[in-house]
Structure 1
Amino acid sequence: MKKITKKFSKKIRKEKNKVAVTLILLALIFSVFSIFNSIQSKTEGVLDKYEVTEIDIFALESFNANNISVLGVSVGDRTKKLLENLGNPDLQTDFSAGVSSWEYSTSLGLDSAGIIILLDNGIVRTITVRNSFNEQLVGETAKLYSKAELYQKFGIPDDTLFMPIKKDSALIIRVLRYNEIGVDFIVRKNKVIGFSLMLNDETD
């Protein structure tokens, strides 16, 4: 009888050990899976791009120019990707030190420049979206803002610049700069005529 009891106790102990090992393994698997999901979510958050022709970026709770694309092109992209997505520009202006401006108009079915890309040594530094491209935008991003409405929506800009609309032009525009989101709003006669996405070094 004692032998039977001993064997039975031994068997119970073995079963308990098996259950304990199984529970530990399950806990480890769950832990690894949770960590993997967390890393994947963070990575996807960093890599996600909001396409401005599909997403109303101005309605988002927060956004950054680095994570916005325009017809598949984002600031920080190289010339090769720009050519793959938009092709050759309708007008190219080359400046010194490897800087050039590419304007897209008729190739996008527009009468005037709708997208202007500033390249710095083969890297997209800014993407300017003019009002002529607004039909391709959605929601609040497509709205024609007054300066007052812009202040109401985005607050007081970090900086205000005054510059000619083009080189040697007598027409002066006001640029309202919002550093945190990496966006310049171009204002003329108190009306927003476009916005620029800037390669933004102020990201976290």
Structure 2
Amino acid sequence: MTVKFEGEEIIIPQEICCEVQVRSLLQHAYAELVHDNLYKSKGSVPNKAKREVAKSMALMETTDDLFNQTLKILHQHNEPIECLYENLSKFYIDNISSESNFDRKTNLIILADFSDLIESDTDTIEKIKDLFNTKTYIKNKITSRVKDYYLFQQPIILFIYWVVSTNHARITINNWPLPAYQRELNYIFTDLDKGSIL
């Protein structure tokens, strides 16, 4: 049997009988407590101690369920953002540049900060496509800046053009999460005749 652990492969010969346990730190602490003090106890174990151990196991199971529920809620909340990011990436590759060294984190930060503007990933991407079909000059503006400006190398640039074109300038500026990219944001404002923000 081969076991991979922290990037290394450990080969265990077939004739060796073993058990592999994967536990959280809390589960390990519980196992240590129960094994040493209840299961292998040298004396009698009071019922109160048994009840406390049972309560701690129930609490661990409840905590595990709560963590799983929280992850499920977060996944459901983030799914439209993730789908929109994938659609933006595809649209960017198909229409702007086939280079795809995208910084997922930066893209998702911006999408998350403007998530209240995302109706559904398909509705939003269709509106973005409509904007680019209506204002065809935007593609040229983006491609002319790809080499020099990081934000123009990211698919999120398509979304930002849409946000600026469809919303009041104050909404965009107030929600803007990346102060280091004010110059790029200003280019978008001026491209769309929304005035300068600098």
TM > 0.5: no
TM-score by length of 2: 0.31
Q: TM-score, normalised by structure 1?
A: 0.30
Structure with greater helix share of residues: 2
